[in-house]
Amino acid sequence: MDKFHVKKGDEVVVIAGTEKGKRGKLIAVLRKQQRVIVEGVQMIKRHQRKNQQHPQGAIIEREGTVHISNVMRAEKFDARAAKRAPQAA
């Protein structure tokens, strides 16, 4: 079993890729694929067949996955940004 630097419920920042800079809460960690699902990030459209919930069918937007190496815990990211900013004396 791998041990990851983030877990479900953490506030994270995306540090690489098309969604760089976005923040959100971790919804799930997919351990085998080494990917995470972040709230409001990497939105994809799923086409839904007709069923009882959607009698006409529907296009549903939901979160896609992001590789775990492309996210960082928000508090660590903020601390790093504060350290990098020039101190005004």
DSSP labels, 60-80: EEEE-EEEGGGEEEHHHHHHH
pLDDT reported for residue 40: 94
In sequence order, the 6+-apart residues with CB closer than 8 A to the CB of 74 are 10, 11, 12, 13, 23
Q: What pTM, to 2 d.p., does this model score? A: 0.83
pLDDT reported for residue 24: 96
Q: What is the mean pLDDT of residues 13-20?
A: 94
Look over the chain and give the mean of its residue pLDDT values, rounded to a whole number.
92
Q: What is the mean pLDDT of residues 20-30?
A: 96
Question: What's the pLDDT band for 2 if we cut at 50, 70, 90?
Answer: confident
